[in-house]
Amino acid sequence: MKKTSTRLADGRELIYYDALDDVVRDAADLRPLGATSTASELRYDALLDEWVIIASHRQGRIYHPPANECPLCPSRDGRLSEIPADGYDVVVFENRFPSLTSAAPAVAERGAGPLPKLARPGNGRCEVVCFTSDHDASFADLTPQQVGLVLDAWTDRTAELSALPGVEQVFCFENRGAEIGVTLGHPHGQIYAYPFVTPRTERMLGAAAAHRRRTGRNLFDDLLADELAARGGSADRVVIAGEHWTAFVPYAAHWPYEVHLYPNRRVADLLALNDAERAEFCEVYLDLLRRFDLLFVDPAAGAAARPGRTPYIAAWHQSPVGSGPGSSGELALHLELFTIRRTVGKLKFLAGSESGMDVFINDVSPETAAQRLREVSP
């Protein structure tokens, strides 16, 4: 892998990740861009004991542009985009409309008394990851070699962002599909470098600590062992069992089709994966994504039916940074993949119970979902 860092016209960093070492990246960003302006701040929610990001400047971000105006395509045929080169393998750049930024303005606490309005600058970093220059492709269309390059980019960014002052957690993820809320159709993901440990991770760490106190064992190790022990029986929720990775539908899945992908050897983050684990991930993850695309083919289409593009979120969970809060080594690296589609032509909306009380109601049993995912082998 060759890594080349450059700057866009407004000063944001852009990084090329190339499979070949002899590629030269010297195209300049010729757009007349002004400096970015952000208004990101963190406000403390005393009722839920968590931080909320207020980023009102994001209202002006690009929203569903036509394909010929896509800002993530290469710059070619006289049209300039966020990527100055006329082609690329994988590109990462600072988001022009970030939720968190190193340039966040200073803020002050608002009010006094028994409940001061705590606030902090929205310091951190938000990056866009373009998986391929092909606008019409999807992650599932990549080759294992291309996935390996994306994994290298995720790993490199985790290392670089973890070293930034104040960063406590690095989150790599992909949202796919307009139904999920994606506003750019080009295959891409994002990376957030948070200045706090996220609420979901805090809950996982709390559960892991309680399990350690009760049993003396690691919660994530026991979860994976329990799923593997149930293989072949009526409670079989394993979708793919590899030498180094296991994909399974969790016992209490929140979403109609939700799969967790674990390395069989517990590691804290992407940096800790060895070569064999990295190589097998590329094959297993592509297999899993292609199964998702086969889930909702309309039966009425018969033999002519083609795989669809199932909307999904793919979220990497890795340990918080360094010696900060929650960095005890209890949290295991894993990827959670889920879709909001529950059947052909129908979505799972977060209604009153889910949105108002955080109590999920799943329309598909986890065992049925796992069976269906095993049946749709690509």
- Pairing mode, strands 50-54 and 245-248: unpaired
State the DSSP code for 36. Answer: P
| Residues contacting residue 82 through CB under 8 Å, at least 6 positions apart | 8, 14, 71, 72, 93, 96, 128
At position 207, the amino acid (one-letter code) is A
CA distances (Å), origin 374, targets 227, 247, 368? 15, 11, 10
Which among 179, 163, 220 is positioned nearest to 336, based on CA atoms?
220
Strand partners, 130: 91, 188
- Write down the catalytic residue from 64, 135, 186, 188: 188
Residue 260 annotated in active site: no
156 CB-contact burial (10 Å; exposed 0-12 / middle 13-18 / buried 19+): middle
Asked if 281 and 262 count as a contact pair (C-beta separation under 8 A), the reply is no
Asked if 370 and 235 count as a contact pair (C-beta separation under 8 A), the reply is no
d(C-alpha 306, C-alpha 174), whole Å: 23
Query: What would the two tokens of residue 301 be?
Result: 């289409």
At position 340, the amino acid (one-letter code) is I
β strands within 238-378, DSSP E: 238-241, 245-248, 257-263, 312-317, 334-339, 341-343, 346-347
Catalytic residues: 188
